Homo-oligomer: A and B are copies of this chain.
Amino acid sequence: MQMGVVVGRVTATKKDENLVGTKLLITQPIGIDGNVLSNPIITVDTVGAGIGERVIFVSGSMAGRAIKNKEAPIDAAIIGIIDSLEGTTLGG
Contacts and interface: CB of A to CB of B under 8 A. Distances in A.
Instruction: State the copy count for this chain.
Output: 5
A64 B72 CA distance: 10
Interface string A55-69: 010111111111000
A65 B69 CA distance: 11
Nearest to A12: B80
Nearest to A41: B2
Contact of A12 (B36, B37, B66, B82): B82
Contacts of A41: 1-2
Contacts of A84: 10-11
A83 B11 contact: yes
Interface of A: 1-3, 5, 7-16, 18-19, 24, 26, 28-32, 36-43, 46-48, 51, 56, 58-66, 71-77, 79-92
